[in-house]
Each structure stands twice: as C-alpha cells, then as structure tokens.
Chain A
Amino acid sequence: MLECVPEGPVEHTIGKINPAKTCQPIGAMYAALGIHGCLPHSHGSQGCCAYHRMHLTRHFRDQVLASSSSFTEGASVFGGAVNLKTSIKNIFAIYNPEIIAVHTTCLSETIGDDLPTIIKQSEIPEGKRVIHTNTPSYSGSHITGFSNMVKSMVSYLAQATEPVKKDQVNILPGFVNPGDMREIRRIVDEMGIQMIMLPDTTGVLDAPQTNKYALFPEGGTTVDEIVDTGNSRLTLALGSWASDAAGAMLVEKCNVPCIPLRTPIGLKATDDFIMTLKEKCEVDVPKSLTVERGQVVDTLIDTHFHYQGKKVAIFGDPDIVIPLTEFVLTMGMIPKYVLTGTPGSRFETEVGKMFEEYQVEGSIAKADGDLFELHQWIKEEPVDLLMGTTYGKYIARAEDTPLVRVGFPILDRAVHPLMPITGYRGCLRLIEMVSNTLLDRRDRDAGDEDYEMVL
C-alpha cells in the first residue's frame, strides 16, 4: 500500500497531497440541515451540490437533500442572479421548505454575485425565509463554512424581542455528529437547564425508520427557536473554530453574553462544560452525572496499562482534535503528531501549550497540514496508534499501524454518527475504542505461547 510514497523525508511546499480538510460549502450545507424544514441551496455549478450531498450521505447514511443553482457557462459569464431567483421560486413551489439557506461556491464567489441584493429581488412567499452565507472554497475549510452558516443564521434571524433575558441557554455544538448533539442535550437536560441548540442535526441525519417518508424530517432547530436565541441569557460556544463567530454575533446583535469552551470531548473538557453550566445557571450537578464521571475515572485507572505511554498520531478538525489531544494526555498516552487541515496558527499554540503542560517533548502540532506530511513523519518515527477519519486508513495499512476512527468523515464504518465521543459516555466510548484496538493488535501479534485468555 502506498508504495509510490517516497522513502526519504521529502517536503512539498505547494498545494496539498492527501488533504486533511475540504471546502467551505459542505460545512455550510451540514449546518443548514440542522434547521428544521430547511433546504440548503448551493449557489454554483451543480457538481458542488452533488459532491457535498454525496459525502454527507456517505458519512451519515441518511438522506441529504439540497438544491443547486446549476450554473452553466452563461451564468458564469453573466452572473448567477437569474439562476438564483429561478431556484428560489422553484424550491418554494415544489418542495415548500420553511426556509432556504443559500451558500456560495468558489465559482459564484469568483464572479462576485451579490447575494443579499439577489435575495431581496426574489419572490419569497409570505412567512417563508431565505438566508445566505458566503463560503468561498479558496479560504479556510469545511469548518469555516459551518461557522459562516451558523453566524448567518444568527445575523439573519436571531432577535432580542423580550425586555428581560429568558432563563435559557444557547448551545452552539459546532461541527459534531448528531450522536454528540444528543449527548450534549442529555447532559444539559439532566441538569434541568432550558436550552436552544443551534444547529441541531438530530432527527435529520440520524432519522429513525418509521415507514412514513418526510421530505423534511422532525429534527432541527426551528426558525422560531433561532429567533429566540436572541432572548437567551447565555451562549456556550463549543469549539472555537466552528462556534465562536456565531457566539460573537449573538453578543453584538442581541447582547447575549458568550462563553467559548472546548468541544466537551474527554474528561477535562466535559468537566469544564458542566462546571460552566453549574456556575452560570446556578444549578446543582445531579448525582447521575457525578456517577458517570466516576465511572470514567474508574475505567481510566482500570485500563491505563493497555495504552499508557503509547504514541499516537491524531488528525482531523481542530475543535475535535484539540480536546481529543487533551484526553489522550489524560489517558497517559503521548500525542506524537497532532495535525489539522484547517488553517489557523492558534491550533499550534493551543496544542503546544498542552505539550508543555504535560511535559511532552519532540511532538509536532501543525495546522493547515496534509496527510502526506503526516505519513512522512510516521515513516521517520512510527507511532502505535492513529486517531482520525477514514482518510487515515491508507497510512494505517502502509505502516501497519492500527486506526481508531473519529471525526468527519467516516466513510468505511457505520454507526459512528449515532454514537457520541462527547460527554462522559463519549469518554467511555473512546477508552473502549482505543483499548480494544490496541488489544486486538496485541492478540494479532502474539505468538501462540503469548496468546492469553485474560488481558
């Protein structure tokens, strides 16, 4: 596998080889699917929409509906205004969504289509909405696109309509799976706190089989709820790459204070999340959560010898990778290589700080990197475990290194999107995946005389 990859350390300075990120619009599409009754609309060539739907569908194994302006050469020369107005008219006539969330592509951005003006000139039925966000594929990554779309939801829809802030909290979960959103909601519910989650893809991308087909499934944050985020007393922005922008917009537009936190992956980030809720909402932490936490610590102690001291390479999206790195440090492992494809030097600073805190030496943290680079590092000095998306599987096979699949996208294993890696339950799941993967490996490599009943 990958025999074509050069042996010696080589460095490439231009472009990406085996990228660890993709383009903005897919993130915007995913975010928009988290609004109830929303049809995401891709303003560009129809291939973008087809690719984004395909990729999301493969990860979630659920329907992903979205429409396209279907640019042809004419639209590329004369601008896409006619295509977008026609699209909006047709979408409401044929599919009748509550809201259309338009995002751009590198084509419409390069042309410079003025979306707010085109939308203003479009026929929008009474009570329906059209929002938009700019998602040029030539900057940032899919995470930037997600962030931009959530920010646009706030800037278009959120309103401070009440004289006094309501006793409710906005939770911006970031680019995580519906399984994680369910888990985050469960924790907040358990603490007896009222919340609005934005966006919320539960019920949309982990929809149950009911024998009744719905074009727009039951899930998603309703438009009314998005409006109401302006009346909340607090926002928790989980994962700064995906959620800070919308959080800041809520401060600016509706005067809702925002606390940026890490995505609650691992013991410490989950602790921080629960402590913040406890203090800010002045509630007690229920015993059930204390028990769950205790189970995690107990398991860490019980299983540490399966993984302590093992070297791991982690790659994926920054909001996932940062707290995951923190958790593997908590587990006593050594994060040797930590890489994200998303640009932003903050990533390197944050991960670097953790290395210092845990006195890890000789590890690398890199933003805007690619998997070819990661492979080069691993060839230079191997690791015991890879943690990341499906795209790591080639390296895993080439270097005979086990892979634990986390993040987006996972194209070759099912059920991941329905299961959490967040919260204390997510901790248990991560411990289980890491331990079992390493133990499977130990069993595989053991001679008959070392192949044991109890491990």
Chain B
Amino acid sequence: MAINQEVLDEMLLPYPDKVQKNRTKHIVRKNPEEGCQQIEANTRTVPGIISQRGCCYAGCKGVVVGPIKDMITITHGPVGCAYYSWGTRRNKARADDITPPEQIYGAMCFVTDMQEPDIVFGGEKKLAKMIDEVVEMFHPRAVNVCATCPIGLIGDDLGAVTKKATEKHGIPVLAYNCEGYKGVSQSAGHHIANNILMENVIGSGDAEKNPSEFVVNLLGEYNIGGDSWEIERILHDIGYRVQGVITGDSSVEEMKNMHIANLNLVMCHRSINYIAEMMEEKYGIPWLKINFIGVEAIKKSLRDIAQVTGDETFIRKTEEVIAREEARVLPVIEHYRKICTGKTAFAFVGGSRSHHYQYLLKDLGMEVVVAGYEFAHRDDYEGRSVIPTIKTDADSKNIPELDIKPDPELYKEAHEHLNLTKEKFDEICSRVPLGNYEGMYPDMNGGTLMIDDCNHYEAEQLVKELKPDLFFAGVRDKYIAQKMGVPAKQLHSYDYSGPYAGFNGAMNFARDVANAMTTPAWKFIIPPWEKESENKGDINA
C-alpha cells in the first residue's frame, strides 16, 4: 500500500508557501531506482506547527542523565520542567551489589523553584545553597545540575557554582547548560549530556580489566519498561560481562569504569553516538550498532557481536542461546502473527526506535508504510556515510564539540581491544559493520514514506489517505489516532507495558499489538440506533 506522489503533493497544498517549501524537503517517498534520497533533518521546527518535538532540556535531563540512579539531578529553574520529567519516562532502576537502595533517587524530583526575584537578581546563591542542603541530606555519589530556559538569559554561571560545590563536597557536581531553546529539538540535549558525561564520568574510575572476560557497554539503552534487564539477561547467558549502560538502570559507579570494555554496543544511535565515537577516539574501543528489538534483529545483533569477539566459544554459545530462546518464544509470537499479518502501520517516535520497531513488525508480518523521527539527523535516515556532507548551521554550532585526544596510557588499537590480530580484525570488519550505521532508508520498501519532524496535520492527512491498521507514536498522538478509529500504541512508554526488547520483549510486543487491534470495543463504536436498519423485522428472531 503506497502513496503516490500526486496525492502527497496535494496533501501539502493547504500549507502557506513558505511552510510548503520547508516541509517538502522533510518528506521522502522512497524510490528504489534512485539510490539513497536526501532528506532534510535536524533543522528548525516551523513556528505554529503542532510538532511532536520537545526541547534540549528534555533530551539532556529527561532522556540521558535523568535515569542515572545514584546521581541527584537538580533542575535549576522554575518548577515546571523538573515536574514534567519526574517519573514520566519509565526508566526503571533497582538496587544491586554496587548501589544500595538508599543511594537510588529515581523517585525523587529536585528543583530550585526559581521565583521572580531570582530571575531579576540571579539564582546562583539559591542553587549553591540547594546543592549544599541536598548533599548534606542525601549523601549522593554525584550531582547533576540541569539548566532551564531562563538560566542562559539571566547569566547564572552554572559551571562556577558546580565547580565550587565539587571542591566543597568532594563529589562530582556536574553542570549541563541544556536550556530548552538550544538547538532545534531534544537532540541538542543528548549531545550536551554526552559531552559532560564523557569529560567528567567515563574513564574516571580505576578498575582493572580482568583479561579473561569479554566486557561490553550498552550505550543508548534507557531501560524503559525493563528493556535493558532483558538485553543484559541474554548477553550474560552468552557469557559477556556488561560493565555499564548509558543510562538505563546505571550508576555513576559503573559508568566511571566503562573505559575497560572490549566493545561498545550502540542501541539508540541518535542519542549516544557521540560517546561511542569519543570513546573510540580516546581509548580506541570499537563500537557496533545493534538492535535488540525483534527476533530477527536480535539474532543478527548477537551473531555480529560473537563474530567481533572472534571467539569460537561465544559463537557457539550464541547459537545455543538463540535456539533455546526461539524454541520458547516463536510459538507464542506465531499465535499473534496470525492476527497481525498483512496489516500496515505508521511509526513516529523520537529517534532510533522508528527504525528498530520495523524489524519487530516484520516478525509479525506487518509493514511500516510511513516512518519518521522527531529529532533525528540525516545520518539516522540515510546512514553515517552522509555525515561528512552535513553542513552545520547556526542552531547546531552552539553545541560544543569536544576535542578528544587519544589517552596516552589507555589508548589501544581496536584489534587489541578485541584481542585479535590485525589481519583477523580486518577480515571480520569486511563482514560486520563495526563503527557504522546505515540508517532507516535501506530497510524501507519502495513507495513508503519517510517523514522528518512529522506534525499533526501531516499525520492526520496520511491516516485518512492510507488508513493504517496501527499507529505507533507518543502519548500526545495516541488519542488523536484512536479518535480517528486507528488503534495506537505508545512507543515511548509502551503503554506502561514492557519490556519490548529482547526475546521476552518480542512476545510482550506481539501480545500488546494484537490486543490493541482486537479489543472488542472497536466493534461497538456505532450505536445500534445509528446503524442501517438492515435487521428490521428481526426483533423477534
């Protein structure tokens, strides 16, 4: 079921000229004849458009640093931003050998609650005092301070306040200048968070690597609905040790020593590729793009990882785990596949998930006919090969790029990290896409649409035109789709279900999707007195 170009052009006609010109560049109808088509991404949202996008603070505090369980995050600003990002993202955390329950702050919300006088006279003193009080009361291992819009305008020097606090309390107190107006979406905030964690946390520990272990980090995985735990379960079963996760159920204690890993695994490319790259530059650790969403994708990811280790034991164990898990979950998925097969879906999520979930839907025999990201860059659509050609504009220039140099003591070549000979490593690289991500485009079918920063108007028109069977988006769009008669599932928070990652996640997802489409209520929408009176006379039948 594809949309033709004429219908698409017609859809954009009601837009004012400028908007039409702008939006046309963000919509690509895949033409397999053309090679990779260019899409516009990571540019300003059109003012007045009902966009799905959030802001820099949401990307920094809400997505990347908020989940770190043993850090207290103080939001410096008025009350709102902290309040909305309090417990709303479902990044779960639990106590373990490294982090006792009294060091977990995920259920708490800390904010300086700036008042008018603070805006007029500055809020630095208030912030400094709040840091003192909070450290004294809670004894966290480290503190984050995240800025909201007014901070940059009134000129509070977060860095100066946190530097003093670091000295005073003897724990890291980190400043994130992630004011909401920076950049064009959440994406700027991811980048800022990546920079600060890389500069201040990663590599600051002194753990020694045990040479008998193969150690991985999981980057860009936020443990929504317990995803990370399910992924770690599988990795542990094969025999890998997971040193740290950025940042699902993670602790600053674990993140400090992430530099001892043999390999970085990148789940969400958009939010975390910066750290993957910087760790490669600084320590030489190679990274691999993986996807643990959907049985086929998990199998490919696990096999890629095993290949990279070059270790027969891991390769064998990987196949054992795959066989064991498939035997367990495939019959269940097959049951739901019968319900889902042949159906179509739209997928609009923030970053990488719009791509990841296509694999899961393929497992169920469904096709994604329209997909888009809220805050992706061109490389998330077209693959990393386009990065050198992307011009930085005014909005991305104000996010600092760190100048990373190889660590004089810890830097090793990639093949050394993997305990491989250079020849063997090169041979593996020809088969496994280390350090690369090809983006969403290659996985889309001809005639399907990729839409960047899709807005309410476009989504509504496309639903009317293509009548998908399922709509995957965030909570703000869920009820819009459902009022149009299309079942909708939240892919940001999984409608409070989960995990959706891993083998167990594939089962959960299949069940939830089937339920969304088959819930009996859909049949009751039209009241009997408004239906065609075809059953007239049947009253006594």
| Interface residues, chain A, with chain B CB atoms under 8 Å away | 1-6, 10, 12-19, 21-23, 25-26, 41, 44-48, 50-55, 57-58, 61-76, 83-84, 86-91, 93-95, 105-107, 110-111, 136-139, 141, 207, 209-211, 213-215, 341, 372, 391, 394, 411
Distance (whole angstroms) from the CB of A379 to the closest CB of chain B: 13
Q: A61-B479, A90-B19, A110-B119 are in contact. Are A50 and B150 (CB under 8 A)?
A: no
CA distance A68 to B460 in the complex (A): 18
Q: How many A-B contacts if CB must be within 8 Å?
A: 253
CA distance A91 to B19 in the complex (A): 11
Residue of A nearest to B44 (CB): A72
Residues of chain B within 8 A (CB-CB) of A75 are 181
Asked if B58 CB lies within 8 Å of chain A CBs, one says: yes
Offer 27 A-B interface pairs, CB within 8 angstroms, sorted by A.
A1-B107, A3-B100, A6-B137, A12-B130, A13-B133, A17-B108, A18-B108, A19-B111, A26-B80, A47-B81, A47-B186, A48-B80, A50-B52, A55-B84, A68-B48, A69-B48, A72-B183, A83-B47, A88-B48, A91-B48, A94-B49, A106-B148, A137-B80, A138-B78, A213-B483, A213-B484, A215-B460
| B: contact size bracket | 35 or more
Residue of A nearest to B115 (CB): A138
Q: A4-B138, A107-B153 are in contact. Are A70 and B45 (CB under 8 A)?
A: yes
Residue of B nearest to A368 (CB): B113
Residues of chain A within 8 A (CB-CB) of B479 are 57, 61-63
Distance (whole angstroms) from the CB of B369 to the closest CB of chain A: 19
Residues of chain A within 8 A (CB-CB) of B483 are 63, 207, 209, 213-214
Out of A5, A23, A111, which one reaches B83, CB within 8 Å?
Answer: A23
Residues of chain A within 8 A (CB-CB) of B148 are 106
Q: A19-B79, A107-B180 are in contact. Are A89 and B55 (CB under 8 A)?
A: no
Residue of A nearest to B117 (CB): A138
Beyond A10-B137, A19-B109, A50-B58, 14 extra complex contacts between A and B, CB < 8 Å:
A14-B112, A18-B109, A47-B57, A47-B58, A48-B55, A54-B84, A64-B476, A65-B480, A70-B49, A76-B152, A84-B47, A89-B48, A94-B457, A106-B114
Residues of chain B within 8 A (CB-CB) of A391 are 86
Distance (whole angstroms) from the CB of B47 to the closest CB of chain A: 4
CA distance A199 to B33 in the complex (A): 55
- Cβ B47 vs Cβ A19 within 8 A: no
Residues of chain B within 8 A (CB-CB) of A136 are 78, 116
CA distance A188 to B421 in the complex (A): 84
CA distance A26 to B80 in the complex (A): 9
CA distance A234 to B359 in the complex (A): 62
- Cβ B153 vs Cβ A76 within 8 A: yes
Out of A69, A141, A209, A214, which one reaches B79, CB within 8 Å?
Answer: A141
Write the B89-116 contact mask toward A (1 if CB under 8 angstroms, else 0).
0000000000011111101111111111
Distance (whole angstroms) from the CB of B399 to the closest CB of chain A: 10
- Cβ B398 vs Cβ A73 within 8 A: yes
Interface residues of B in 1-32 (CB under 8 A from A): 14-16, 19
Q: A73-B182, A94-B457, A211-B525 are in contact. Are A14 and B138 (CB under 8 A)?
A: no
Residues of chain A within 8 A (CB-CB) of B36 are none
Residues of chain A within 8 A (CB-CB) of B129 are 13-14
Residue of B nearest to A56 (CB): B476
Residues of chain A within 8 A (CB-CB) of B81 are 23, 47, 51
Distance (whole angstroms) from the CB of B491 to the closest CB of chain A: 14
- Cβ B54 vs Cβ A46 within 8 A: yes
Out of B46, B394, B474, B476, which one reaches A90, CB within 8 Å?
Answer: B46
- Cβ A19 vs Cβ B113 within 8 A: yes
Residue of B nearest to A136 (CB): B116
Write the B65-95 contact mask toward A (1 if CB under 8 angstroms, else 0).
0000000001001111111111010000000
CA distance A70 to B126 in the complex (A): 29
Residues of chain B within 8 A (CB-CB) of A14 are 112, 126, 129-130, 133
CA distance A62 to B474 in the complex (A): 13
- Cβ B457 vs Cβ A95 within 8 A: yes
- Cβ A15 vs Cβ B47 within 8 A: no
Residues of chain A within 8 A (CB-CB) of B410 are none
Residue of A nearest to B527 (CB): A210
Residues of chain A within 8 A (CB-CB) of B110 are 15-17
Interface residues of B in 434-472 (CB under 8 A from A): 456-457, 460
Write the B297-314 contact mask toward A (1 if CB under 8 angstroms, else 0).
000000000000000000
**CB-CB nearest 6 A-B residue pairs:** A47-B55, A23-B80, A87-B48, A90-B48, A45-B180, A137-B78
CA distance A106 to B152 in the complex (A): 12
Q: A107-B149, A138-B115, A213-B460 are in contact. Are A23 and B54 (CB under 8 A)?
A: no
Residue of B nearest to A69 (CB): B47
CA distance A69 to B54 in the complex (A): 12
- Cβ A22 vs Cβ B83 within 8 A: yes
CA distance A120 to B317 in the complex (A): 70
Of B44, B58, B476, most A-chain CB atoms within 10 Å: B476
Asked if B485 CB lies within 8 Å of chain A CBs, one says: yes
| Interface residues, chain B, with chain A CB atoms under 8 Å away | 14-16, 19, 44-58, 74, 77-86, 88, 100-105, 107-116, 118-119, 126, 129-130, 133-134, 137-138, 148-150, 152-154, 179-186, 394-395, 398, 456-457, 460, 474-476, 478-480, 482-485, 525-526
Q: A46-B45, A88-B48 are in contact. Are A25 and B108 (CB under 8 A)?
A: no
Distance (whole angstroms) from the CB of B123 to the closest CB of chain A: 9
CA distance A109 to B67 in the complex (A): 31
Residues of chain B within 8 A (CB-CB) of A71 are 180-181
Distance (whole angstroms) from the CB of B19 to the closest CB of chain A: 6
Distance (whole angstroms) from the CB of B84 to the closest CB of chain A: 4
CA distance A69 to B47 in the complex (A): 5
Q: A17-B110, A95-B457 are in contact. Are A46 and B51 (CB under 8 A)?
A: yes
Q: A70-B46, A106-B148 are in contact. Are A15 and B181 (CB under 8 A)?
A: no
Residue of B nearest to A394 (CB): B107
Residues of chain A within 8 A (CB-CB) of B51 are 46, 50, 68, 70
- Cβ B83 vs Cβ A12 within 8 A: no
- Cβ B180 vs Cβ A94 within 8 A: no
CA distance A137 to B113 in the complex (A): 9
Distance (whole angstroms) from the CB of A212 to the closest CB of chain B: 9
CA distance A372 to B133 in the complex (A): 13
Out of B46, B79, B85, which one reaches A21, CB within 8 Å?
Answer: B79
- Cβ B525 vs Cβ A4 within 8 A: no
- Cβ B54 vs Cβ A72 within 8 A: no
Residues of chain A within 8 A (CB-CB) of B179 are 76
Residues of chain B within 8 A (CB-CB) of A210 are 525
Residues of chain B within 8 A (CB-CB) of A5 are 108
Residues of chain B within 8 A (CB-CB) of A51 are 54, 58, 80-81, 84-85
Of A50, A111, A139, most B-chain CB atoms within 10 Å: A50
- Cβ A46 vs Cβ B53 within 8 A: yes
Residues of chain A within 8 A (CB-CB) of B47 are 68-70, 83-84, 86-87, 90
Residue of B nearest to A18 (CB): B109
Q: A4-B108, A67-B50 are in contact. Are A105 and B45 (CB under 8 A)?
A: no
CA distance A71 to B100 in the complex (A): 42
CA distance A276 to B14 in the complex (A): 51
Q: A45-B55, A83-B47, A106-B77 are in contact. Are A17 and B476 (CB under 8 A)?
A: no
Out of A67, A138, A215, which one reaches B49, CB within 8 Å?
Answer: A67
Residue of B nearest to A88 (CB): B48
Residues of chain B within 8 A (CB-CB) of A41 are 48
Residues of chain A within 8 A (CB-CB) of B109 are 16-19
Residue of B nearest to A214 (CB): B483
- Cβ B48 vs Cβ A138 within 8 A: no
Residues of chain B within 8 A (CB-CB) of A57 are 475-476, 478-479
CA distance A26 to B84 in the complex (A): 10
CA distance A75 to B47 in the complex (A): 11
- Cβ B19 vs Cβ A94 within 8 A: yes
Distance (whole angstroms) from the CB of B108 to the closest CB of chain A: 6
- Cβ A50 vs Cβ B15 within 8 A: no
Residues of chain B within 8 A (CB-CB) of A15 are 74, 110-113, 126, 130
Distance (whole angstroms) from the CB of B351 to the closest CB of chain A: 15
- Cβ A47 vs Cβ B119 within 8 A: no
